[in-house]
Amino acid sequence: MIRALSLLLLLALPARGQEALVAALSQDAVEVTTGFTGAQLMVFGSTDQPIGPGGDEVLVVAQGPNRPVVVRRKVPALGFLWVNGPSARFAEVPGFYFIAGTRPAWQLLPEEQRQRHSLGLDSLRLVSTGARHPRFRAALLDLEKRSGLWVEDTHPVEVAGSRLFHARLPLPAGVPTGDYRVQVLLIRSRQVVARQTLDFRVDRVGTADRIATVAEDQPFLYGIACIFLAALAGWVGSVVFRRS
């Protein structure tokens, strides 16, 4: 599939003029159904000059919708009971973050530029209130990485035929719904010379969506429905499985 897409892209290139960078996504919507176990998106494209050491480099960054997150630290109360103690509240934390390049970002760009554009987990701007200790930020990074929601340099951008590149974006099952933005950067001599922004959405669809929407918009009706469905299921089940 990648080959076919890449070929298509190559054929389309001359028609679009000699652009330094052309990129696209394999799909612009990810559907979360009741059977959703995660998804993989493909970012692919081509450059007008050869990619590789000494030549052009490509960096792909994807970011999901922000949400506020609290990080809590457990402390022993009375010396033996482990309870949640001090906490730090991060107001805007990306629900998904992905970065990958033909090489890691810190090798491609000057540190100052990398920090300014938030390229890399250590340069994410995370403003917190509450507990100030830097370990809270480190813990947040660690927890998000372990849940698979923050991904850094685990799926490098692969190059085929020196001018075609593609990267796989792994979306885990717990990925938040909303608008996502993917940026593809073309780097030449430690400078960003071209960039392209691509958008996609993650949406609940079908039964999963209907349940979540009703629960959110009409919680009273939803509650009543839960009561009746549970009662009905209990009654039907006892009739079906009666052993006497």
Partner 1 sequence: MLWNPALQVYLPIAEMSVDAFLLVGIGFGVGWLSGLFGVGGGFLLTPLLILVGIPAPVAVASGANQTLGASVSGLIAQWRRGNVDARMGTVLLIGGFIGSVLGVQLFALLRRVGQVDLAVSLFYVIVLGTVGGLMVMESVRAILRRRTAPQRKLHEHFWVHGLPFKMRFRKSRLYISVIPPLLIGGFIGILSAVMGVGGGFMLVPAMIYLLGIPTSVVIGTSLFQVVFVAANVTLLQAVQLGTVDILLTLLLLAGGVAGAQFGAAMGSRLRGEETRALLGLLVLGVALSLLWGLLRPPADLFSSGVAL
Interface residues toward partner 1, by CB under 8 A: 32-38, 67-74, 76, 80-84, 87, 89-90, 135-136, 139-140, 142-144, 173-174, 176, 204, 207-209, 211-212, 215-216, 219-220, 222-227, 229-243
Is the CB of 11 or the CB of 78 nearer to partner 1? 78
Question: Phi-psi region for residue 181, left (φ > 0), alpha (ψ -120 to 50) or beta?
Answer: beta
- Which residue number, 55 or 178, has a Cβ lying nearer to partner 1? 178
Q: Are 95 and 84 in contact (CB under 8 A)?
A: no
The nearer residue to partner 1, 62 or 202, going by C-beta atoms, is 202
User: With respect to partner 1, which residue has the nearer C-beta, 112 or 217?
Assistant: 217
Shortest CB 82 distance to partner 1, Å: 5
Instruction: Compute the least distance from the CB of residue 25 to partner 1, in Å.
Output: 22
| Smallest distance from partner 1 to CB 61, Å | 22
Distance from CA of residue 150 to its chain's centroid? 7
Sheet of 39-47, strand order: 21-25, 39-47, 164-171, 158-160
Residue 48 or 122: the one with the smaller Cβ distance to partner 1 is 122
Question: CB of residue 29 vs partner 1: minimum separation in angstroms?
Answer: 16
Minimum Å gap between C-beta 34 and partner 1 is 5
Strands 128-130 and 150-152: unpaired
Cβ atoms of 182 and 188 closer than 8 Å: no
Q: How many CB atoms lie within 10 A of CB 105?
A: 24
Shortest distance, position 68 Cβ to partner 1, whole Å: 4
- The residue (of 12 and 83) whose beta carbon lies closer to partner 1 is 83
Q: Are 125 and 83 in contact (CB under 8 A)?
A: no
Helix (H, G, I), strand (E, B) or coil at 135: helix
**CB of residue 33 vs partner 1: minimum separation in angstroms?**
7
Local structure of residue 162 (DSSP, 8 states): T
CB neighbourhood size of 52 (10 A):
13
The SS3 of residue 236 is helix
Q: Which is nearer to partner 1, 13 or 212 (CB)?
A: 212
Q: What is the CA radius of gyration of the chain?
A: 23
Q: How far apart are the first and last CA of the chain?
A: 58
